Amino acid sequence: MSEKQSTGITKILRKLKQNGSPPPVFETDSDRTYLITTIRMREGFEADTKNFAQKNERSLSEVLSSKDYVKLLPIIENLDVNNRIILLL
Protein backbone atom coordinates (compact mmCIF):
# COMPACT_ATOMS: atom_id res chain seq x y z
CA MET A 1 0.00 0.00 0.00
CA SER A 2 2.90 2.36 0.54
CA GLU A 3 6.34 2.93 -0.90
CA LYS A 4 9.47 4.97 -0.37
CA GLN A 5 7.79 8.29 -1.29
CA SER A 6 5.07 7.69 1.36
CA THR A 7 2.22 8.47 -1.01
CA GLY A 8 0.32 5.44 0.28
CA ILE A 9 0.26 6.61 3.90
CA THR A 10 -3.11 8.34 3.47
CA LYS A 11 -4.55 5.19 1.93
CA ILE A 12 -3.25 3.10 4.84
CA LEU A 13 -4.73 5.52 7.39
CA ARG A 14 -8.09 5.51 5.57
CA LYS A 15 -8.23 1.71 5.38
CA LEU A 16 -7.28 1.31 9.05
CA LYS A 17 -10.07 3.69 10.03
CA GLN A 18 -12.60 1.87 7.79
CA ASN A 19 -11.54 -1.42 9.36
CA GLY A 20 -12.01 -0.08 12.89
CA SER A 21 -8.31 -0.51 13.64
CA PRO A 22 -6.41 1.89 15.87
CA PRO A 23 -4.19 4.45 14.14
CA PRO A 24 -0.57 3.44 13.55
CA VAL A 25 2.20 4.58 15.88
CA PHE A 26 5.16 6.27 14.18
CA GLU A 27 8.51 6.44 15.97
CA THR A 28 11.65 8.22 14.79
CA ASP A 29 14.64 10.07 16.19
CA SER A 30 15.15 13.85 15.98
CA ASP A 31 17.41 13.43 12.92
CA ARG A 32 14.89 11.16 11.20
CA THR A 33 17.49 8.48 10.56
CA TYR A 34 14.89 5.75 11.00
CA LEU A 35 11.13 5.26 11.08
CA ILE A 36 9.35 2.51 12.97
CA THR A 37 5.66 2.04 12.24
CA THR A 38 3.49 -0.13 14.45
CA ILE A 39 0.12 -1.23 13.04
CA ARG A 40 -2.07 -3.01 15.56
CA MET A 41 -5.04 -5.26 14.89
CA ARG A 42 -8.47 -4.03 15.89
CA GLU A 43 -10.05 -5.50 18.99
CA GLY A 44 -12.08 -8.59 18.29
CA PHE A 45 -9.91 -9.68 15.38
CA GLU A 46 -8.90 -13.29 15.82
CA ALA A 47 -5.55 -13.87 14.17
CA ASP A 48 -4.55 -17.39 13.32
CA THR A 49 -0.87 -16.98 12.57
CA LYS A 50 -0.03 -20.68 12.47
CA ASN A 51 1.48 -21.59 9.12
CA PHE A 52 0.79 -18.13 7.69
CA ALA A 53 3.15 -18.66 4.77
CA GLN A 54 1.60 -22.01 3.81
CA LYS A 55 -1.96 -20.69 3.99
CA ASN A 56 -1.19 -17.72 1.78
CA GLU A 57 1.40 -19.16 -0.58
CA ARG A 58 -1.05 -20.15 -3.30
CA SER A 59 -3.06 -16.94 -3.33
CA LEU A 60 0.03 -14.74 -3.31
CA SER A 61 1.69 -16.71 -6.06
CA GLU A 62 -1.46 -16.30 -8.15
CA VAL A 63 -1.64 -12.52 -7.83
CA LEU A 64 2.07 -11.67 -7.97
CA SER A 65 4.55 -12.13 -10.74
CA SER A 66 7.07 -14.87 -9.97
CA LYS A 67 9.79 -12.21 -9.63
CA ASP A 68 7.76 -10.23 -7.06
CA TYR A 69 6.70 -13.38 -5.22
CA VAL A 70 10.33 -14.46 -4.78
CA LYS A 71 11.12 -11.02 -3.32
CA LEU A 72 8.17 -11.20 -0.91
CA LEU A 73 8.69 -14.78 0.29
CA PRO A 74 11.41 -14.01 2.90
CA ILE A 75 9.11 -11.40 4.47
CA ILE A 76 6.24 -13.90 4.66
CA GLU A 77 8.49 -16.55 6.17
CA ASN A 78 9.78 -14.02 8.73
CA LEU A 79 6.19 -13.18 9.68
CA ASP A 80 5.39 -16.87 10.05
CA VAL A 81 8.30 -17.36 12.48
CA ASN A 82 8.23 -14.06 14.42
CA ASN A 83 4.58 -12.96 14.16
CA ARG A 84 5.81 -9.49 13.14
CA ILE A 85 7.78 -7.79 10.42
CA ILE A 86 10.65 -5.41 11.06
CA LEU A 87 11.76 -3.37 8.08
CA LEU A 88 14.97 -1.41 8.27
CA LEU A 89 15.23 1.19 5.53
* Tens digits of residue pLDDT in 33-88: 888 888 888 777 665 555 555 665 666 767 778 888 888 888 778 777 777 666 55
Q: Are residues 26 and 53 in the same domain?
A: no
Range(s) of the domain holding residue 69: 47-83
Domain contains 24: yes
Q: What residues pair up with 1 in beta bridges, in sequence order?
A: none
Distance (Å, rounded) from C-alpha 31 to C-alpha 33? 5
What's the structural domain count of the chain? 2
Residue type, 79: L
Q: Are residues 35 and 71 in the same domain?
A: no
pLDDT at 71: 85
CA 85 to centroid of chain Cα atoms? 7
